[in-house]
Structure 1
Amino acid sequence: MQQIEEGTLILSQDNQQAELQAIVGAVRTLAANCQGNNIALLAVLRQLEELHREIRDGIFQASLPDNRQALYALLRDIESQGGWPYIERMRLQALFANWEAATQSNHIADETKTDVTKTLESHNGEVTIWD
């Protein structure tokens, strides 16, 4: 059900939730399609951050309450629904730590594979299993 308020079309709560879930689904699908492509995923994150900023600084600020009761209702909603929306940025230190950990685990896996290959070669391809 749609309502008309001050010449603006407003979606009902149910329609708004359905539309929002469709957008969330589309973003998740896009991110899944970009899996493994860190440049594309970074572009998605940047676009989401820009959209957050655009809505916050534009439409949201313009719709802030102009009386105490409405401000109280907004603050109560923010508190009861999980706080202020925030998009956290990954710190470069965390990025490097994750990269270093992944590199080390790949290096250990490569060393293990090399050791197994050397062992197989030294035994002329014969494998002995010790229990």
Structure 2
Amino acid sequence: MAPARPTFPDPLPAELEPVCEELLAIAEKRRGNAVELLQMLRFLENFHHWLRDTYYMEALPTNRQELFDLLMQMEQQGNWPNLPRTQLRSLLARLTQSGPMGENPH
């Protein structure tokens, strides 16, 4: 059974739908393979940084009114986009849920 589609705060623009579908298909092919999923996450993180540095930064406001408008829109729509890394605490919690540390179920 495929996992639920990711949710987005706003409707996904039509031109991003095929990109989203392709990413979902690639993730599904890599399901269960932590190394390949990590590779995909690194790619997405690097792409996020590149997009931010290449296009987003130059599009930022150049005056106070534009900045205010952007900040208001961000507040209403959920703030800055972010691709957080998995925290070590989350990984350790998952490991302790699966059994005693060091126990290999395979």
TM-score interval (norm. to shorter): 0.7 to 0.9
Work out the percentage of aligned pairs sharing the same amino acid: 35
Q: Aligned residues, how many?
A: 93
Partner of 1:74: 70
1:48 aligns with 2:48: no
Partner of 2:9: none
- Name structure 1 gaps, 5 residues minimum: 1-15, 110-131
The residue correspondences of 1:1-131 to structure 2 (distance < 5 A) are 17-104=13-100
Distance 1:79 1:96 in 2: 33
Superposition RMSD in Å? 2.4
Distance 2:61 2:15 in 1: 25
Structure with the higher helix share, 1 or 2: 1
- Name structure 2 gaps, 5 residues minimum: 1-11
Higher relative contact order (CA 8 A, sep 6+): 2
Query: Bigger radius of gyration, 1 or 2?
Result: 1
TM-score scaled to structure 2, two decimals?
Answer: 0.74
